[in-house]
Chains A and B, each alone.
Chain A
Amino acid sequence: MSEPIDLALGILDHQVVDSEGFRCGKVDDLELGGIQEGKPVVETIIVGRRNRRRVHVPWDEVEKVDSAVWLKRPARELRLRRGDDRLRPLLEWIPGAHAR
């Protein structure tokens, strides 16, 4: 990750995608860990806007950044996509819910 990125345009509000290709929220905020060599360093990306549901994802978990922020691990391991997990039972009983 040595390429410079514009934080506002290049990361903030970007799609977050886990290692299995599932979308798991947007980059709602960033936490900076001070300045290194005159440049701010991102320490954590924050997914979720409401206080209790905000998830902090350490920058080390980020695989790459392009039109999305790609994570190194599945959402579950980072406690992401819990909204989908909560609502899934509402659909599971319907025939065809597990079919493509």
Chain B
Amino acid sequence: MKRIFEIALGILAAIGGFVDIGDIVFNVAAGAMFQYRLLWVVVIGVGAIITYSEMCGRVTVASGRAVFDAVRERLGFRVGLVALVAAQLVNLMTLAAEIGGIALALQLLAGLPFRALLVLAVLALAVVLWAMPFSWIERIFGYVGLAMLAFAVAAIKLDPGWGDVASGFVPSVPSGDRALYAYFVVGLIGAATVPYEVYFYSSGAMEEQWTPKDLGTNKANAIIGYSLGGFLSFALMITAGALFYPLGITPESLGSVALGVDVPLGTIGLLCALVGILFAVSGAAIDTAFSGGYTLAQFFGWEWGKYRRPVDAPRFTLTWIVMVVLGFLVVVTGVDPIKVTEYSVIFSVVALPLTYVPILLVANDRAYMGRYRNGRVANVFGIAYLVVILAIAVAAIPLMLVTNMGQG
């Protein structure tokens, strides 16, 4: 049992990072439009996030410093400030979207008015963030979020053409709308590598007080956690590909996404999926709220951490409280939470190199890392994925404009 809980951090970082409200819809839209032809992209995204999460977990273990410490050190104050502003904007937009997502999931489960549920969602979130110990948070929200595996059962039950599914893992260029396809490639990799995952993960390693003895745990967390996240992405895309693609429908709401489970599995499956979505989306809200506190505190050198008493880390605590309030204010204006995350994913792609380059530099620094410096494997993967990240960072904005945000 203890072993299972040891990978809770990776599970929550992945569940909150991969299958947050925007990604759920993004993956389902990808399946609905291109059936299984984008599955290979998820593999690249998962590989990238495993490589960099392992790296920054190791940096934290070896040096006691988390990702945004590295950003500040390697980019200096001015350029670092650009990275900070970009990171906080994405944190905030995502948090706003997740708060909306919690309310949407509650609405599908309980059917009360949306605005009342929004208030309920933000209050519950604040209580959890304030009162629940970090280890409980990661266990409860990570593991209950796994109820979304209902989508995997649904995918199997829908009996997709497995040959077609398999060929989706081979990169291909479609004959139809290539710009739209490319937009989804960028969006899916971006969604898999959103920087708040590594902010949360590396700071979580500190929260858990990992030492060099835990380097194996770090590797297991990164690999198993994010692979599970990737597996869920596959399941969402395959379900949508089998159900919506033949009908030519692209679901644009959480309710129609859930239909993907309702059709093959009925009420019990639907319930599982909705509870899973609720906890996954809540997990993402927790990830982003804390990430807001972590990045700001690490950039300016303030005391931070859930492992501290709130009065011992006042600026960190106030930062996440302000984030939650701002997120609530954004979503209460009535903006569409799903549109908000789509924007935030694309903008985060542009800023990705500002996070990932410093990690790679610090992980190779002997003074910083000692004998836990990157080995050859970590560097080969690190550089290869950095090339991918740079390429999508350059392509993101033009593709967004050309495709009108994936609307074709």
Contact = CB atoms under 8 A, between A and B. Distances in A.
Interface residues of B, number: 32
A84 B314 contact: yes
Nearest to B362: A67
Contacts of B64: 67-68
B295 to A, nearest CB: 14
Given A13-B72, A13-B76, A22 B312 contact: yes
B314 A24 contact: no
A98 B311 contact: yes
B69 A91 contact: no
B224 interface: no
Interface string B63-78: 1110001001100110
B130 interface: yes
A15 interface: yes
B65 A16 contact: no
Contact of A24 (B80, B133, B303, B310): B303
Nearest to B76: A13
Interface string A55-92: 00000000000111000000000000101100110111
Contacts of B303: 22-24, 81, 84
A38 to B, nearest CB: 22
A25 B300 contact: yes
B181 interface: no
A35 interface: no
Contacts of A99: 309
Interface string A13-54: 111100000111110100000000000000000010100000
A94 B307 CA distance: 17
Nearest to A65: B367
Contacts of A1: none
Interface in B288-338: 297, 300-304, 307-315, 317-318
B301 A16 contact: yes
A6 B3 CA distance: 42
B76 A68 contact: no
B202 to A, nearest CB: 13
Nearest to B297: A23
A1 B367 CA distance: 15
A83 B312 CA distance: 12
A32 B72 CA distance: 22
For the complex of A and B, 6 pairs with smallest distance between CB atoms: A67-B63, A26-B301, A25-B301, A87-B314, A23-B303, A88-B314
Interface of A: 9-10, 12-16, 22-26, 28, 47, 49, 66-68, 81, 83-84, 87-88, 90-92, 94, 96-100
